[in-house]
Structure 1
């Protein structure tokens, strides 16, 4: 019983810290992509590590609270949250967590095969979140053009995929080297 409480408290504390880091990366260490309102950020790479360590629920919570809080900070005058993208980000965190759990990323050796499979599946998760869920939500909830929302989502797929494939893979290797075993 005591071991379960310690593990649960580590997940809660880890998730709270993860949310704070996510907000910093998502809001304050972001680079605007061209003339769009979207940003390139390392938050998805961080999210992939969080989900690999703490699981899919932690990933979903981190992305949901982190994205919503970042939106509120960005639109502080109106406290507007772009809910369709917040929900898509949360589901993306859940999907990534399920992938890392299924691949047992940090159980045993972190192999090239695990990393390649992870990156294939994270691309699929990006496509589902940003080319299906977010654009459909934008169209149905905000009555926005589906084509424009899909263009925006496609850009995010590319940026998130590259951030996770490059920086997320590096974070996995660093974590594996220093924290696992």
Structure 2
């Protein structure tokens, strides 16, 4: 049996979404901030959790909050911030706008984690870089990519040792629903009620 890799979770809650018109993580879904659903699922996994956000309102969740070290670099900047603020061997990066996520799906992904390999899910053949585990040994490469403006997360995953896990999506298809617009928010509210 392989030794478990120490992993720390970082919730990416970057800021105002142009399509949503406000901060997605703090947008209410059935009366609760969207990020709270992600935090609840993570709390059941027992791994340490931190938030990457530039809005101090996230401190109300009583979880460590870090601002982007390098501003306006998207998820790659968030990944660099996460890798810079962990003492674990790898970080699990998850977006704040996945309110249907379950602890079971997170735990299933964690079972594939390693010290040298990125682990990500694929959804309908596409890699989801914001439900993925990144080893800390890649920090220098992330920093280099930011310097060079090479910010595409899927390229980064494919150009390094990686494992793609489609089976999680087959078992939990609804959890990978991102909420980017007010219309998607309404649909997700209905779906959330249907699943409960």
TM-score using structure 1 length: 0.29
Structure richer in strand, relative to its length: 2
Structure richer in helix, relative to its length: 1
TM-score using structure 2 length: 0.28
